[in-house]
């Protein structure tokens, strides 16, 4: 039986991916814990703390196949953590001599935190690949529609002309920054944990720091300057990163959903027979990918708050906030993988209707470029006077249902300065795109 969308046979590939589930599965986690225990034994053997033969045997036996999962589950519920039961099973799988050196000088949180960091390393690699694919799709769309005019909207009202390529480039910019953040946060997040019971490595005498350094070399992780048992900012950052990423994807999804509305009809998610269909309305084509992206983004935002709350930990080992991370971190990365998957599907095959964009531009019969006329008149009449003249014409055009061009052409204050042909040029949305195209080019070069 399943209980959440992440493990549901029905929903799991809508809110996650098989690859990310594997990273955060029980098998994935326990394998990482065993990997840390094996690396610890090898590190201690390398500096002469435990026999080399013991380290080799521990490394050979430290694999998922040795575990009795049902027994591990029962004992974890009793202990509250999985490491003591796991260490018992690993030690029992080794000879008596080698088994006595398993988990030497470590504490539960050392193993669990470092296993989490190893999971994060794999998770970030998956997100990086997805993000690269999304950025490539957006770059392609921005180039293709660099000069395709459409209505820009502010406060849900038509404002000024833009191009669809410009809109896509705006979508892409925060994702490019997320790509930079991902590269930057690795140095802060991919740091192992090893401090012993209270973080001071007292159980290893004067060799504690040498063991820690050797352990991190074994695992390919950075060595911390000081134990971070209760300094959780790096793991919080790892989840806040997913909040920024999914928030940026959510902005795209929100725009696409509204642009798919019947009244706009400017873009559509890729057509797949039956996708987005209604059980009662045959004409429906619902924005399924966008809806799922938004749902994932909302979930991740809640977990960002949880991770910030979990940073407030008591003394040298926390009495509860740590457990919140076990929920928030895996679910954040699963939901982020799900959002990325849906974004890749949507953007790689997005249908763009430039004809409908042009018709929507024409809906207001020139009102969307009223600013162009105002700015053209400003040097002749002064800015405020030009604003008032054009404002009055816009109100009359809206009230009487007449084209703005006709009213402007008949205005006696405008006639001495612009003939009808010049007004037609000013009222052509293609002539009032500003630096949109150059901004697209710059953003893609950057």
Domain end position, chosen among 310, 333, 352? 352
Do 251 and 282 lie in one domain? The reply is: yes
**pLDDT value of residue 1:** 66
Q: Are 289 and 269 in contact (CB under 8 A)?
A: yes
Residue 281 lies in a domain: yes
Do 261 and 366 lie in one domain? The reply is: no
**pLDDT value of residue 83:** 95
Mean pLDDT on 271-295: 70
Do 315 and 249 lie in one domain? The reply is: yes
Question: Which of 148, 386, 377, 103 has its CA nearest to residue 267?
Answer: 148
Catalytic residue among 155, 289, 409, 443: 155
273 pLDDT band (50/70/90 cuts)?
A: low
**pLDDT value of residue 382:** 82
Domain end position, chosen among 333, 352, 371? 352
Do 331 and 408 lie in one domain? The reply is: no
**pLDDT value of residue 9:** 81
Do 139 and 249 lie in one domain? The reply is: yes
Residue 37 lies in a domain: no
**pLDDT value of residue 391:** 83
What span, in angstroms and rounded, lies between the C-alpha atoms of 417 and 271? 51
Do 381 and 298 lie in one domain? The reply is: no
Name the domain count of the chain.
2
Residue 314 lies in a domain: yes
pLDDT in tens, 339-377: 999 999 999 999 999 999 999 998 888 888 888 888 888
**pLDDT value of residue 277:** 47
Residue 212's Cβ-count burial label (10 Å; 0-12, 13-18, 19+) is: buried
Average pLDDT, the chain: 91
96 pLDDT band (50/70/90 cuts)?
A: very high
Residue 27 lies in a domain: no
Residue 228 lies in a domain: yes
Do 285 and 375 lie in one domain? The reply is: no
Do 347 and 371 lie in one domain? The reply is: no
Residue 324 lies in a domain: yes
Looking up residue 275, the CATH number of its domain turns out to be 1.20.200.10
Do 237 and 112 lie in one domain? The reply is: yes
Residue 2 lies in a domain: no
Do 342 and 365 lie in one domain? The reply is: no
Residue 153 lies in a domain: no
Residue 51's Cβ-count burial label (10 Å; 0-12, 13-18, 19+) is: middle
pLDDT in tens, 143-180: 999 999 999 999 999 889 999 999 999 999 999 999 99
Do 292 and 276 lie in one domain? The reply is: yes
Mean pLDDT on 399-424: 81
Domain end position, chosen among 287, 320, 352? 352
Q: Which of 185-194, 230-239, 360-369 has the lowest mean pLDDT?
A: 360-369
Mean pLDDT on 182-198: 96
Looking up residue 363, the CATH number of its domain turns out to be 1.10.40.30
Phi, psi of 51 (to 5 degrees): -65, 145
282 pLDDT band (50/70/90 cuts)?
A: very low
Q: Which of 64-68, 139-143, 170-174, 278-282 has the lowest mean pLDDT?
A: 278-282
Q: What is the extent of the structural domain holding 343?
A: 107-145+162-352
pLDDT in tens, 372-407: 888 888 887 788 887 888 888 878 888 888 887 887
Do 225 and 323 lie in one domain? The reply is: yes
278 counts as catalytic: yes
Tell which wins on pLDDT, 295 or 421: 295
What span, in angstroms and rounded, lies between the C-alpha atoms of 424 and 372? 11
Question: Which of 364, 407, 384 has its CA nearest to residue 152?
Answer: 364
Instruction: Report the DSSP beta bridge partners of residue 150.
Output: 162
Catalytic residue among 95, 203, 278, 435: 278
**pLDDT value of residue 275:** 56
């Amino acid at each position: 039986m399943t209980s959440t969308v992440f493990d549901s046979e029905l929903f799991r590939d809508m809110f996650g991916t098989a690859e990310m589930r594997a990273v955060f599965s029980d098998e994935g986690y326990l394998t990482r814990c065993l990997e840390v225990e094996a690396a610890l034994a090898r590190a201690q053997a390398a500096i002469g703390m435990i026999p080399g033969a013991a380290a080799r045997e521990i490394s050979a036996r430290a694999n998922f196949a040795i575990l009795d999962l049902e027994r591990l589950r029962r004992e974890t519920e009793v202990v509250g953590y999985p490491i003591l039961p796991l260490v018992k099973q690993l030690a029992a799988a080794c000879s008596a001599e080698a088994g006595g050196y398993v988990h030497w000088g470590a504490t539960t949180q050392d193993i669990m935190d470092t296993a989490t960091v190893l999971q994060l390393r794999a998770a970030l690699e998956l997100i990086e690949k997805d993000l690269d694919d999304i950025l490539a799709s957006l770059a392609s769309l921005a180039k293709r529609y660099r000069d395709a005019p459409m209505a820009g909207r502010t406060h849900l009202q038509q404002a000024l002309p833009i191009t669809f390529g410009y809109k896509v480039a705006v979508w892409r910019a925060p994702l490019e920054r997320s790509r930079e953040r991902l590269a930057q946060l690795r140095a802060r997040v991919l740091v192992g944990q090893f401090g012993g019971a209270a973080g001071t490595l007292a159980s290893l005498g004067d060799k504690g720091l040498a063991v820690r350094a050797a352990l991190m070399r074994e695992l390919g992780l950075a060595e911390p300057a000081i134990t971070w048992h209760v300094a959780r900012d790096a793991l919080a950052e790892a989840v806040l990163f997913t909040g920024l990423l999914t928030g940026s994807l959510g902005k795209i999804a929100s725009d696409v959903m509204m642009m798919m509305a019947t009244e706009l009809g400017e873009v559509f998610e890729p057509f797949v027979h039956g996708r987005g269909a209604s059980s009662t309305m045959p004409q429906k084509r619902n924005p399924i990918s966008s809806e799922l992206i938004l749902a994932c983004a909302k979930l991740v935002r809640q977990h960002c708050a949880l991770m910030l709350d979990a940073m407030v930990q008591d003394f040298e080992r926390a009495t509860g906030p740590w457990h919140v991370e076990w929920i928030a971190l895996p679910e954040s990365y699963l939901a982020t993988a799900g959002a990325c998957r849906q974004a890749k599907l949507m953007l790689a095959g997005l249908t763009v209707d430039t004809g409908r964009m042009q018709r929507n531009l024409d809906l207001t019969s020139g009102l969307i470029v009223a600013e162009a006329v105002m700015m053209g008149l400003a040097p002749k009449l002064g800015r405020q006077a030009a604003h008032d003249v054009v404002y009055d014409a816009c109100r009359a055009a809206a009230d009487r249902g007449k084209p703005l061009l006709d009213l402007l052409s008949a205005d006696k204050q405008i006639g001495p300065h612009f003939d009808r042909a010049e007004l037609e040029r000013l009222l052509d949305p293609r002539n009032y795109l500003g630096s949109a195209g150059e901004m697209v080019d710059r953003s893609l070069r950057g």
